[in-house]
Structure 1
């Protein structure tokens, strides 16, 4: 059960921070990646992560996931919540992390 957390941790690490200008067509996850101050957050990696998000997350899930980077406690609260919509979001987020790891590694 802890295995899916590792890809999520990788994605969270890349997306933390804020700096670069943003392309107009970037989705919320790609924008969060481009704004990060991580050296690994190259435009091509961010585009790949954004593509993985578009394949696995709804727009609403992307917006909520982007909020996790501003408020990491929110991610923990959603992960531990028993609310159905939070469980669905967390499952989608785990799937996104696995997909991004497979596509972008």
Structure 2
């Protein structure tokens, strides 16, 4: 399950919201749009709830972009920009918390 969650967080494809996901947050929309096995309302909703607790809305928007451009995650992770470093610390906490809470 951790592998599925990690895949959803890093390598999913982000598509515009459908009528069913209009009220969903950016992470949940990206998760639900994922072609990965295991992407469902329960899991994606859980991941979004963790994102709401651990990431700012701006962080969530940045993380959602990783779903359509996984290479961007690598660039941010390796960046020497202090804002990126701070974001990555929060993002890692989010990932660990989501893996624990949503598996």
Q: Does the TM-score normalized on the shorter chain lie above 0.5?
A: yes
Note if contact 1:17-1:38 (Cα within 8 Å) is conserved in structure 2.
Answer: no
Aligned CA RMSD, in angstroms, stands at 2.0
Equivalent pairs, count:
98
List gaps (5 residues or longer) in structure 1: 1-6
Contact 1:12 1:69 in 2 (8 A): no
**Partner in structure 2 of residue 96 of structure 1:** 94
| Preserved CA contact (<8 Å) 1:28 1:62 | yes
Deviation at 1:23, TM superposition (A): 2.2
1 CA distance for matches of 2:38 and 2:51? 18
Please give the alpha-carbon distance, in whole angstroms, between the structure 1 residues aligned to 2:74 and 2:13.
Answer: 18
Matches for 1:28-39 after TM superposition, within 5 Å: 28-39=26-37
1: CA distance, partners of 2:59 / 2:4: 18
TM-score under structure 2 length normalisation: 0.85
Query: Is 1:51 aligned to residue 45 of structure 2?
Result: no
> 1:16-95, aligned counterparts within 5 Å?
16-17=12-13, 21=18, 22-95=20-93
- Aligned residue for 1:4? none
Q: Does structure 1 retain, via aligned residues, the 8 Å contact 2:4–2:37?
A: no
Residue 69 of structure 1 deviates from its aligned partner by 1.2
Worse-superposed segment, 22-31 or 86-95: 22-31
